[in-house]
Amino acid sequence: MRALLPILPRPSRYAGIEEGACHKDPAQVRLRVGLAFPDTYEVGMSYLGQKILYGIVNSHASWWAERVMAPEREAGDILRQHGCPLGTLESGTPLRDLHCLSFSITHELCYTNVLYMLELGNIPLRTADRPQDLRRCPLVIAGGGALLSAEPLAPFIDLMVLGDGEESLPDVLRLLEQALDEGWTRDRCLEEARHIPGVYIPSFFTPDAEGRLQPRFADHARPARRIVADFDKVAYPTSQVVPIGAVHNRLSLEIARGCTRGCRFCHAGMVYRPVRERSLDTITGLLDDCLKKTGFDEISFLSLSTGDFSALKTLSHGVLGRCAQEQISLSLPSLRVGSIDDEIMQRMSDLRRTGCTLAPEAGSQRLRDVINKGVTEEQVLLHVQKLLEYGWRQVKLYFMIGLPTETDEDLRAIADLCRKVRDAAGKGNPRLQVTAALSPFVPKPFTPFQWVEQISQEEIQRRVQLVRDEFRGQKFLKLRWHEPAMSHLEGILSRADRRLADVVEKVYRKGGIFTSWIEGFDLAPWLEALEECSLTADEFTRARSMDEYLPWEHLEAGISPEFLRREYERALAGKVTEDCRYHACRQCGACDTKAGPSRMPHASLGADGRPLEHHNRLVFPQRDQQAHQPARDEEGRIICRTHENKPPQIAPELAVKAVQYRIWHTKTGGSSYLSQLELQAILDRALRRADLPMAFSQGFHPMPLISFGRALPVGMESRAEWFAITLRAPMSAAEVHARLAAALPTGMAVIRVEEVDKSRRTEQSVAETFRLRTGSVDGEGLPMTSVRDCFAAFAARESVMLTRETKKGPRTSDIRRHLLRWKELEDGSLEFSLDWSDGYLSPLLLCTSICAPLGDESRLRALLRLGKTAQHFADGQVCP
């Protein structure tokens, strides 16, 4: 794959040069593991589960875990065209040469991407077709939250890990290491693996005439989800890979796992029980270490219900002050209405504010009781009023449509609640901008609604239209909705049996990949494949009877079927089941001697067992009713923050400009594939890791004061690049050099650091010198003699006009004036200098224009190897 980087789209995603990436000597490791995520780099690098497993596996000296993501469709086509197998990011090792390939399955719509990656890696799609010799083909395993109902993947996966993987995966790898040492067959390895807690071997179950899965082994008849008992001691990586562009490019720290709120539609809330928390000491220690090693400027505390963390107030009290001092933003996702008090909200408002998201899920109180949401309209409005008081002006509300027992009146109540939220501040105050998002309800296994029918696409569209009509003409209200066809497909797959495996493969053969992306999503090949397999969508979206066999019954999720039945009956009766952490136990089956009790009652206590000074009052039974009342004026209106009384966005000492340095550096190897925007983000984090006292800009979004030289074309190397930084405290050039040298990514080496006048704009060079060579792709190349002839012909002309597209439209200019001189070197390469005193042009574009007789621009970009060697300034200085 590395040889194809010049022609791959967004090549930096495949270079494996990120900070924190683990590189080992293949000769010194005994087990090669590929951690595969069946989606794009941007999505995969946002997934915390893979980061955790990456750190755990690589903590073993004799194991090496590398990452592999699904290449975008265009990149996959290029790999096929050139006969190049999909490889790992760190070393480019083809997937078939690994010992283990482990997929993270987070949702059902990624199934075809699993097959896409297997085939690109030259691995047989079905486990039955893989060789018995484990050294000829890796063991293909999978884990993740969607595997408790992933029967459509059963024929393609050798081994599945159910539940928490922090302990299960190392157990599987130790067994695999033994299997390789002793020459076991694939079947022998799987037979031994069935004894590992949390392991499920799909091939050890065979459907009978009625479709029921019959176990091959009595001791593997009901594989159970594995649970990490002590969440405070479970491994967590502090040296994480810092991604090059990701959906969530921030430090994600899981503070708790599990939720007992009991929302009846929520798969994760049911199967991730019991609740387990990390202690404050552990969290703060991890936070300090992670920030030092990664340089992230945003923190996200993760949990299924972050606001229910028992010591959130204490945690926030310590973290928010640090965030303000170091210009780090804090995100608290998954906040339940009423779950944070006014002190936390006030301190968060002092940082950079974005929109706020709340999830009432249903518009009417009746329907919220059916789904056991446990949130009232009064609580929603009170929470919104607090947001207004502390300066928020945008809010997003999540709703589901198609919930059991839903009526048109429930749908109209969505619009009614949104209007009340918009007007929550009262007359005389700015209105909130409210965006409502509708998601069609999809019944999930191991939830109380696993038996209900999913409404049809047509009915989803009717209900969406009903809500749209209610929103029409309403100011400050926006409505968005999830694609009904995509939810329909999710519903088919989420409760499917093994008959869908053939459908998944047929859809893959029809080109159906990246199904979770709305761009290019197409339901047609799925419906065609269902028909070709003599199946219908209704077979999987229909209602089930309570005594009917379910395709996931042979797996143990930790929640008893009796509890799910009771909750379903309570839902139909409109009865609310309270949180068992603070009310009566409902005997759900999650708490057992293996998992241990919840740590919730103890997390807000100090080492001596006494409450901490800033304890979180919300641990008490009526916390949702203890919400802060917003401040109001004499007429009863909420006092909203205005531009005049907003807190300053930055402390004055952070804006001090003490000294400015220009840092000269190289940009070679994999780092040459970084775009300018990617380079800026990477340097921002590198400067934080180097612990340099950066000065910040002022305004709503303070940024570190960094300026750059001219942007290099992607793929072009340089030994003469620079960026300038402004520090708020004096520091010697030698100290800056030493700190940065240890923090820059692979391929970027500090050449020298020079102080420049901080009162003047950093000067740009007036000319640059380059060296040009040629390379090859698949054995095809360009002779340097032909390139030399093109340069000679170009230099002989007095002018050469070139028209190119710019932001202001087409622009024609004479490009001959840029070439100052050129010569052929002893090694056959060309050296030339370009004059930028009268305008700048991409040097790579100039070279492809000079060599235009040798091929089109895309071919030349792939075969020309251009590098910058020096920059020349007006005062005669040549750098570096």
**Packing angle of the helix pair 312-326, 342-349 (nearest 10 deg):** 10
Residue 612 has pLDDT above 60, yes or no: no
Largest CA distance in the chain: 90
CATH number of 652-756: 3.30.70.580
What pLDDT is recorded for position 583?
83
- To which H or E segment does residue 706 belong? strand 706-708
Residues 395, 358 contacting (CB under 8 angstroms): yes
- Give the tens place of pLDDT for each residue, 634-671: 666 666 665 444 555 678 889 999 999 999 999 999 99
* Token pair 């006494």: residue: 610
What pLDDT is recorded for position 66?
98
How many CB atoms neighbour CB 65 within 10 A?
28
- Give the tens place of pLDDT for each residue, 292-332: 999 999 999 999 988 888 888 888 888 888 888 888 888 88
Domain 2-220 annotated CATH 3.30.43.10: no
Token pair of 382 as six digits: 């009170």
139 Cβ neighbours under 8 A, 6+ residues apart: 99, 100, 101, 158, 159, 176, 186, 189
What pLDDT is recorded for position 353?
61
* Token pair 């170009």: residue: 794
Better-scored residue on pLDDT, 341 or 170: 170
Residue 516 has pLDDT above 80, yes or no: yes
823 torsion bin: left (phi>0), alpha (psi -120 to 50), beta (else): beta
DSSP string, 122-169: T--SSGGGS-SBTTTS-EEEEESTTGGG-GGGGGG-SEEE-B-HHHHH
Residue 609 has pLDDT above 60, yes or no: no
CA distances for 744 relative to 458, 665, 751, angstroms: 54, 10, 12
**DSSP secondary structure code for residue 109 in this structure:** G
3-state SS of 22-53 is: CCCCHHHCCEEEEEEECCCHHHHCCCHHHHHH
Better-scored residue on pLDDT, 706 or 652: 706
Residues 225, 556 contacting (CB under 8 angstroms): yes
92 Cβ neighbours under 8 A, 6+ residues apart: 1, 2, 16
Residue 601 has pLDDT above 50, yes or no: no
Token pair of 690 as six digits: 């180097």
What pLDDT is recorded for position 425?
78
If you average pLDDT over residues 501-523, what whole number do you get?
Answer: 95
Which range is least confidently modeled, 403-412, 606-615, 668-677, 853-862?
Answer: 606-615
What pLDDT is recorded for position 594?
44
Residues 711, 676 contacting (CB under 8 angstroms): yes
If you average pLDDT over residues 91-100, what whole number do you get?
Answer: 97
Whats the size of the chain, residue-wise? 880
The residues that bridge with 386 in the sheet, in sequence order, are: none
Confidence of residue 44 (pLDDT cuts 50, 70, 90): very high
- Give the tens place of pLDDT for each residue, 349-363: 776 666 688 999 999
Residue 373 has pLDDT above 70, yes or no: yes
For the whole model, what pTM was predicted?
0.91
CA distances for 605 relative to 279, 313, 608, 698, angstroms: 9, 12, 8, 39
Average pLDDT, the chain: 90
Residues 97, 133 contacting (CB under 8 angstroms): no
> What is the phi/psi pair of residue 410, to 5°?
-65, -35
- Give the tens place of pLDDT for each residue, 446-462: 999 999 999 999 999 99
Burial class, 426, CB count within 10 angstroms (exposed 0-12 / middle 13-18 / buried 19+): middle
Radius of gyration of the chain (CA): 30
How many CB atoms neighbour CB 811 within 10 A?
11
**DSSP secondary structure code for residue 812 in this structure:** E
Residue 154 has pLDDT above 60, yes or no: yes
What pLDDT is recorded for position 333?
79
What pLDDT is recorded for position 378?
93
The Cα 695–Cα 709 span in angstroms is 19
The Cα 880–Cα 878 span in angstroms is 6
Residues 543, 452 contacting (CB under 8 angstroms): yes
The Cα 488–Cα 96 span in angstroms is 35
What pLDDT is recorded for position 613?
46
If you average pLDDT over residues 705-728, what whole number do you get?
Answer: 95
CATH architecture classification, 250-333+587-626:
2-Layer Sandwich (3.30)
What stretches of 70-114 adopt beta strand conformation (E)?
100-104
- Percent of the chain's residues with pLDDT above 90: 74
183 torsion bin: left (phi>0), alpha (psi -120 to 50), beta (else): left
- Report, in this order, helix, strand and coil percent for the chain, each rounded to 5: 35, 20, 45
Buried b (16+ CB within 10 A) or exposed e, 237-263: bbbbbbbbbbebbbbbbbbbbbbbbbb
- Give the tens place of pLDDT for each residue, 689-700: 999 999 999 877
The Cα 491–Cα 455 span in angstroms is 10
What pLDDT is recorded for position 225?
96
Closest CA to 228 of 310, 165, 174: 165
Closest CA to 16 of 95, 65, 88: 88
What pLDDT is recorded for position 777?
79
What pLDDT is recorded for position 580?
87
Q: Per-domain residue ranges for the chain?
A: 2-220, 250-333+587-626, 652-756, 767-879
- Percent of the chain's residues with pLDDT above 70: 93
> What is the phi/psi pair of residue 748, to 5°?
-115, 105
Residue 596 has pLDDT above 50, yes or no: no
If you average pLDDT over residues 768-781, what whole number do you get?
Answer: 89
